[in-house]
Structure 1
Amino acid sequence: MTIANALIDTVRASRPDIELDVMDLWREELPEFDERTIQAKYKRVSGEPLDASESRAWATIESLAQRIREADRIVLGVPMWNWSIPYKLKQLIDLAAQRDLLFTYDGVHFGPAVDVARADVIAVRGQYYGEDGPTPGSHFDHQIAYVEFFLRTIGVRDVRTLVVDRTWDPAADDAIADGIERARRLAAAGSL
């Protein structure tokens, strides 16, 4: 979060009037995608009426999706967990990424249902995932491609990713300091 916060603080310094909606997934009460919610999803897709319980469950899903839809710019701080994304981010995506909320599907093609100008992704990893290292990204990195695919699929027009490797090795302090500086430059590269 330190690096993502540096990016946000830089944007905020140039645009003090900006409205910020911070979704801390570790504090956010994300619902389970349980049987009631699944029923609501399929009834909604087929045009069937929802009962009161299903309507409440679906309203929570719509609320999460709406927060994404209303964004002018998205900033994601994404640590790598077991070569991918944290389960809480996956849970948010699984909840909010619903047909006609964040994407469209006509039975053949997927399309965007969101119109967001830009997303900045801060991909933080404990070790180095360069192709010249012992854990090449082409084999071990299932973090960046997934997040970028998700954002582009729902309709984010400009996705910029800042990779910060080696945050758990002896060079961690230097890697984080460099990441903060690069995040500040990324924030300044283009405005809202």
Structure 2
Amino acid sequence: NLFPNSEIRVVHPKVIASICGSRENQGIAIEIDVNIRKLDDIKIENESVLILLDRIQDVGNIGNIIRTSEFFGCSGVILTKSETPNITPATIKSSAGAFFHIPVVRERSAKIINFLRERGLKTYSFDVRGKTSIFDIKFEKPSVLCFGGEEKGISEEILRSSDAIIKIPQFGKVNSLNVASTVGVSLGIYIFQMKKQYPS
């Protein structure tokens, strides 16, 4: 028995669907306490790259971004408290387990900005209003890559604290990317550039 002190109950499939927040599930659920980390739990080293999510409301997108961030070896994912939901079972499910392998923090914007400044991270915000193409920027490390919600984008407070505001050039007719796709593209280019600048 992996959980000797737990209570096991057999319930109707509708109850499982209610717990999981979806009819698409494996027919089993477990109730656990989720440990939301603090900013100081994030270990900042010279190689560190963090992901900052501001005003992103879709829990599925947040979960996918956590998964992508862990895959690329990010040191943590930070969510602003303003207009960003709490971590939910749907978020954890969308992360495909990555949530348990990377610090995920939810904090006020002002406190986040102070934390990043004190630790000397370069702040790169990705926004359609950006003047610099991602193909022209020379990233420095340690870094934080910031992304905003698809409706409102990144707040002015975070944009003002950024070292650079970057855009991903559009080549097709659709005028924007899903934010989870934007994070994946941006992290891939960032890691590729870092590997070229600092080959191990």
> What TM-score do you get using the length of structure 2 for normalisation?
0.29
Which structure dedicates a bigger proportion of its chain to helix? Answer: 1
Tell which has more relative contact order, 1 or 2 (C-alpha 8 A, sep 6+): 1
Q: TM-score, normalised by structure 1?
A: 0.30
